[in-house]
């Protein structure tokens, strides 16, 4: 087939000839593991017990791969792998910098916790209908979205995680679920389609889809013609919708309380944060100049998001819906760092994002436990838990303090960084919004605590029994995540070091560009 002439071509100009180092394969490992184990689980979906074991093993392996990747990136800097050996920007690049590796690691933890919790939360019918395959595929999609270095590829991973999440949200097919799923599905699909429109224009202007290549060419095109700013706005709109930032947040409180609690928990931990990740990547690595222009707009969105989220949480009677609004409030804080654009601010955002992924998941898991014990999620009927299980009360209080940003838990430090960053640039109103939203969150969460734990059980309701043996598994998952927030709160030094380094890399996009193109600065693009 291939003509003999081909051998005359010097392939080194166009291709990566060296085999990638073994450790570099870790960039692709979460994807490969997620898909392989997802496929095996799908084949074994009728054998519920075996399928569950395979899935948990797969989730554990993914977490180990994420840890390995994180250590590798921490020690050796950005790890790059290009598919099909084509030199960037021609091959699809996977590039794990500190931002991607950190988010992937936390996503791995959240995924495993969700998988363990589901052992006693998701019934065998739902498992036969594919809970674990969907979870594995969604986690693979989320993790790879954090690691890819190609913007069209990012779109593909968005769609992978979206279609898997559709499968998860309708498991059970209750009326509420279908209603929630309709809103979730349509609004998210419109958001990803808007993202794709942005990608189309981006390709029309830059002629490339490689993120590092775009970042490299963006300064030169800044003054040139081309709808550069319009593309940035399009991305802001699309990803703000995915992240559920105000005023595009309607889909989240309409849907997050409807599926199984394990599903809600994983969604709260992972999905909105992918939107935040994409915003950070696009506005800090690719279009830093547009971020400077849009900073004030993003700051207003951030302040409104955190306040609306916290106020929304105050107005809810269903515990799960209180948490849904708190997810939105947290998104506002992450956007605040992006709005500031300073290293302190971005560092705060990253730390807060990791904190929020862990704590929001833990809170949903906890809500599942207390909801099951009380037989209701309604605050009107809640009560009597303190007598049944004081330790559960301690757990709830720790998480309530953590999500509100009270010491000594992990919510405090990122907020300190963000407030400091705001005051440094004179944005006192942003600092005030952060503090007020924290105050409102405290009220909302302490109300949940006092109504479910301190209030005596109403007459005529069934007595609360002890936590069953299967229920303990749920407790372990929530406890594991809570331990992390306590550690990060009491000893924040290493966590701040990581987020500072992420912020440094993000504010110096040249490191990312250099890592992707290696020594081959002139290569490609011609």
Partner 1 sequence: MEVAIAILTGVFFLVSIYLILSRHIIRVLLGVAMLGNGVNLTIFTAGRITREIPPIIGDDATVPLEGIANPLPQALVLTAIVIAFSFFAFLLVLVFRTYQELGTDDTAEMRDAEPEGEASPPLGY
Is 42 one of the binding residues for partner 1 (CB under 8 A)? no
Q: Which of 118, 298, 379, 399 binds partner 1 (CB under 8 A)?
A: 379
Ordered DSSP codes for 162-214: HHHHHHHHTTT--HHHHHHHHHHHHHHHHHHHHHHHHHHHHHHHHS--BHHHH
List the one residue out of 372, 390, 391, 392 whose CA is nearest residue 382: 372
Give the nearer residue to partner 1 in terms of CB position, either 2 or 17: 2
Is 9 one of the binding residues for partner 1 (CB under 8 A)? yes
Q: Which of 217, 257, 291, 457 binds partner 1 (CB under 8 A)?
A: 257
Q: Which of 168, 185, 234, 374 binds partner 1 (CB under 8 A)?
A: 185
What is the C-alpha separation between 149 and 208, in angstroms, rounded? 12
List the one residue out of 200, 203, 211, 230 whose CA is nearest residue 286: 211
Residues within window 144-183 making contact with partner 1, judged by CB under 8 A: 152, 156, 159, 162-163, 166, 170, 173, 175-183
Q: What is the C-alpha R_g of the chain?
A: 23
Q: Which stretch binds partner 1 (CB under 8 A): 2-10, 214-222, 269-277, 490-498?
A: 2-10
Shortest CB 164 distance to partner 1, Å: 11
C-beta separation of 180 from 250 below 8 A:
no
Element (H, E) at 336: helix 319-340
Shortest CB 168 distance to partner 1, Å: 13
CA 26 distance to own-chain centroid: 20
Neighbour count for residue 192 (Cβ, 10 Å):
17
Q: Which stretch binds partner 1 (CB under 8 A): 132-140, 315-323, 413-421, 480-488?
A: 315-323
Q: Which of 222, 317, 510, 520 binds partner 1 (CB under 8 A)?
A: 317
C-beta separation of 351 from 267 below 8 A:
no
Examine residue 254 and say whether the peptide bond preceding it is cis (omega within 30 degrees of 0).
no
Report how many residues bind partner 1 under the rule CB under 8 A.
49
Alpha helix segments (H runs only) across 77-97: none
Is 254 one of the binding residues for partner 1 (CB under 8 A)? yes
Residues within window 201-230 making contact with partner 1, judged by CB under 8 A: 201, 203-204
Q: Which stretch binds partner 1 (CB under 8 A): 124-132, 265-273, 283-291, 308-316?
A: 308-316
Binding residues (CB under 8 A) for partner 1: these are 3, 5-6, 8-9, 152, 156, 159, 162-163, 166, 170, 173, 175-183, 185-186, 189-190, 193, 196-197, 199-201, 203-204, 253-255, 257-258, 314-317, 379-380, 383, 447, 451, 455
């Amino acid at each position: 087939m291939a003509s003999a002439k081909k051998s005359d071509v010097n392939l080194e100009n166009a291709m990566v000839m060296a085999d990638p180092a073994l450790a570099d394969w870790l960039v692709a490992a979460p994807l490969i593991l997620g898909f392989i184990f997802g496929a095996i689980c799908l084949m074994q979906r009728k054998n519920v017990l075996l399928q569950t074991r395979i899935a948990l093993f797969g989730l554990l392996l993914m977490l180990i791969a994420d840890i390995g990747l994180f250590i590798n990136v921490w020690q050796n800097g950005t790890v790059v792998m290009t598919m099909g050996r084509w030199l960037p920007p021609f091959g699809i690049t996977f590039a794990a910098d500190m931002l991607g590796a950190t988010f992937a690691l936390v996503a791995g933890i959240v995924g495993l916790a969700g998988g363990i919790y589901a052992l006693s939360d998701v019934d065998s019918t739902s498992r036969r209908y594919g809970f674990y395959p969907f979870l594995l595929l969604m986690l693979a999609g989320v993790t790879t979205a954090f690691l890819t270095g190609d913007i069209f590829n990012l779109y593909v991973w968005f769609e992978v995680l979206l279609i898997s999440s559709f499968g998860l949200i309708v498991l059970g097919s209750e009326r509420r679920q279908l209603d929630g799923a309709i809103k979730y599905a349509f609004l998210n699909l419109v958001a990803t389609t808007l993202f794709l429109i942005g990608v189309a224009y981006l390709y029309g202007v830059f002629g490339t889809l490689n993120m590092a290549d775009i970042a490299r060419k963006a300064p030169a095109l800044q003054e040139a013609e081309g709808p550069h700013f319009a593309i940035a706005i399009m991305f802001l709109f699309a990803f703000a919708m995915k992240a559920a930032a105000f005023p595009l947040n309607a889909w989240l409180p309409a849907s997050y309380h409807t599926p199984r609690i394990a599903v809600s928990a994983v969604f709260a931990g992972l999905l909105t944060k992918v939107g935040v990740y994409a915003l950070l990547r696009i506005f800090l690595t690719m279009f830093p100049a547009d971020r400077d222009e849009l900073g004030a707009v993003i700051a207003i969105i951030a302040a409104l998001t955190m306040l609306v989220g916290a106020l929304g949480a105050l107005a809810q009677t269903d515990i799960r819906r209180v948490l849904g609004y708190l997810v939105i409030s947290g998104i506002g804080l992450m956007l605040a760092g992006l709005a500031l654009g300073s290293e302190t601010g971005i560092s705060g955002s990253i730390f807060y994002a990791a904190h929020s992924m862990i704590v929001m998941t833990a809170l949903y898991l906890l809500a599942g436990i207390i909801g099951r014990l009380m037989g209701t999620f309604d605050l009107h009927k809640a009560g009597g838990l303190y007598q049944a299980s004081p330790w559960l009360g301690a757990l709830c209080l720790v998480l309530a303090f953590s999500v509100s940003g009270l010491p000594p838990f992990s919510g405090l430090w990122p907020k300190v960084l963000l407030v400091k960053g705001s005051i440094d640039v004179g944005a006192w109103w942003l600092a005030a919004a952060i503090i007020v939203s924290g105050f409102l969150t405290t009220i909302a969460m302490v109300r949940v605590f006092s109504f479910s734990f301190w209030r005596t059980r109403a007459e005529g309701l069934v007595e609360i029994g002890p936590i069953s043996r299967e229920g303990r598994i749920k407790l372990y998952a929530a406890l594991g995540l809570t331990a992390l927030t306590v550690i990060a709160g009491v000893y924040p030094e290493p966590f701040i070091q990581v987020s500072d380094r992420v912020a440094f890399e993000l504010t110096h996009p040249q490191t990312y560009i250099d890592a992707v193109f290696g020594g081959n600065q002139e290569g490609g693009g011609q």
